[in-house]
Amino acid sequence: MQQNNLASIYSKKNIERIIKKYDYYKDLRAVNENIEELQESYKIMKKSYRNEYFYKNSLFNKLVLGKYNLNTTFAMNEVTINKSKADMIIVNKKLPVVYEIKTELDNFDKLEHQIIDYYKVASLVYVITAENCFYPLYRILKDTKVGIYVLTNRNTLSLKKKAEGNEEFLNHKTLFKLLRKSEYEKIVMGYFGYLPDVNAFEYYTECLKLFMQIDILDVQKLVFDEIWEREEGFVKESIQIIPYELRWLVYSSKFNKTVYKKIIEIFNE
């Protein structure tokens, strides 16, 4: 199986196709082949092609479900922060930690700029990489506060360098851009007791001006409090019924409750 196919079959559309097939035939035999294809492709990734999905699924299973739990933790996928895109943000007890993935196929050319961007919203940043990439990565990060995890050749997650808190670069504007309109309005109203009385063209800018008057550590907490509220609609129960290989795919696809329950029904059977 070609490497591009290994990555492409782990998609939201593929899960939706499986659900439609189940709904049409009302028979699990109709979907077994698709699920087995996904699981077989994961075995290939594990042995010879640990791509970004493999790393994300490992992080989700070993940290979010293994070390923490979905009552106190949620994960965000592919978050745009300034000019960078964080592979994953794990928010535990409403405090964000950015995880940047550097697989065996990646290089470190953009890493410095990515880390600077990530510190604009999070106080803790980790880079996760492969065993054979650890020492080159460590030489880059040894004198920084950035932490390092290694996804070992045995597919365990090993902490090699613990991240230290860094609030120096937290940025009001970057945090503000993570929010939806209703969310930043709620923060501004809750903090000041009013919203700007200006025309629509000036409204965003005036809300941002008020937002920037709030202490930056308070802002960080308020922003991720709001983002946490988005996650309350996700059905957290039964995620571990889903096969290990597919958990991050199902979780990160953010299906609505009806679709999610259908997925659980399939795997329960």
User: What's the pLDDT at 100?
Assistant: 97
Between CA 219 and CA 217 the distance in angstroms is: 5
Angle, in degrees to the nearest 10, between helices 29-48 and 12-25:
160
**Average pLDDT for 154-161:** 94
For the whole model, what pTM was predicted? Answer: 0.90
Predicted confidence (pLDDT) at residue 93 exceeds the cutoff of 90: no
> Once rounded to an integer, what is the mean pLDDT over residues 157-179?
96
Please compute the mean of the pLDDT values over residues 181-189 and round it to a whole number.
97
By percentage, how much of the chain surpasses pLDDT 70?
91
- Residue 4 is predicted with a pLDDT of 55
What would the pLDDT profile of 15-34 be if each residue is shown by its tens digit? Answer: 787 777 776 666 666 677 77
Does the pLDDT at position 1 exceed 50? Answer: no
Angle, CA of 263, 264 and 269, to the nearest 5°: 105
Q: Among 46-50, 112-116, 156-160, 161-165, which stretch is predicted with the lowest mean pLDDT?
A: 46-50
Task: Specify the length of the chain in residues.
Answer: 269
Q: pLDDT band for position 236 (50/70/90)? A: low
How many other C-beta atoms lie within 10 A of the C-beta of residue 134? 17
DSSP designation for 149: E
Q: Which two tokens stand for residue 55?
A: 């790393």
Best CA proximity match to 76, nearest among 61, 60, 65: 60
Q: Which pLDDT value is given to residue 219?
A: 96
**What is the pLDDT at residue 17?**
78
